[in-house]
Amino acid sequence: MQIPLRIYATVLAALLGLAFGSFLNVCLTRWPAGESILKPRSHCRACGRTLAWWENIPVLSWLALRGRCRTCGAWIGWRYPLVELAVGLLWAIVAWRYSYWGVDFLLPNSELALELARASGRAVFFWLVVALATLDAENLWLPDWLTWPGIALGLAFSVAPLPIFGGTFASFHRGPNIHVQTAIATLISMALAALLILLIRWTYKLIRKREGVGLGDAKLMAMLAAWLGLPGALLSFVIGVVLGALTGLLLLALPKASAGKTNAPGENPAGSSAGAELWAFRKLPLGTFLCIGGIVSALWGQPILAAYLRWAGF
């Protein structure tokens, strides 16, 4: 009868994820406006009415209200249920993957603690990445006070669980200096990942004579490397760039999307298409695509990289 434990853990994590996703929505709405996330209580952004308790239930309230305020009918937006579902689903996956130890209790306590630390680390990582992805998509903004703590936490979760919980683990596997080695390796990975973005930034500036890629993206890449290691961060980058390029092409193909920026009548068509290109590049949130890459990389990075290495003949 051990299998149900895994199911309980997964359901509990999903519910917790929905609740933390709901809290994240409050943050995502109030942070850009510079408002407190603690007070006032949840209210409609259009008419200011304080919400009843049953209007604050993740996903279900949104469905029951069909995405609109009960009194003024203002559109609540897709972001609310999507962010809640994303955090709920990702936390459920983390619980499912890490609670395999529920199937048998063969793991020694130190390794059980290590697995728990890793699982909570993954949960924190996914919450941060969903937050950054949404902030960049909605505001083209990757705040320092999320990326820097994200970097510090990533480093801490990569290194700290080893010396704290992994006494036997550490000496058994890689020798007593495993935490020093891991810290140095992680710091180098972070520097290289950030450098990749900085090189693109400088190249872009040199050619276009203006800002294209923000420093926030460099800190985000360092953060991804802190959590996922250099291969995981590079995989996130490749996925992010491919997704970004596809989205850019899609936006260029859609006449509506570039209609907002159209040049005054009489300007030549070549200028207008260059304008569309600039529009697409200026508006694309690279950070959002990097975060999506980070999620894919965290979930399936190892099988993807292994398949790539096999394909490349290593």
Binding residues for Zn ion, rule: CB under 5 A, are: 44, 46-47, 69, 72, 74
Distance between start and end Cα atoms, the chain: 43
Minimum distance from residue 26 beta carbon to Zn ion (Å) = 16
Minimum distance from residue 63 beta carbon to Zn ion (Å) = 17
Of residues 30 and 261, the one with the C-beta less far from Zn ion: 30
Torsion angle defined by CA atoms of residues 207, 246, 122 and 298, in that order, rounded to the nearest 10 degrees: -90
Of residues 51 and 116, the one with the C-beta less far from Zn ion: 51
DSSP secondary structure letter of residue 210? S
Minimum distance from residue 311 beta carbon to Zn ion (Å) = 53
Of residues 47 and 63, the one with the C-beta less far from Zn ion: 47
Of residues 78 and 105, the one with the C-beta less far from Zn ion: 78
If we measure between CA atoms, which residue out of 246, 190, 199 comes closest to residue 221? Answer: 190
Strand partners, 50: 43
Distance between CA atoms of residues 87 and 22, nearest Å: 9
- Helix spans in 144-214 (H): 144-159, 161-165, 167-173, 178-208
Minimum distance from residue 28 beta carbon to Zn ion (Å) = 18
Minimum distance from residue 46 beta carbon to Zn ion (Å) = 4
| Locus of tokens 């203006």 | 210
Of residues 48 and 176, the one with the C-beta less far from Zn ion: 48
Distance between CA atoms of residues 99 and 212, nearest Å: 43
Minimum distance from residue 74 beta carbon to Zn ion (Å) = 5
Strand partners, 68: 75
Of residues 80 and 126, the one with the C-beta less far from Zn ion: 80
Tokens of 181: 């080695």
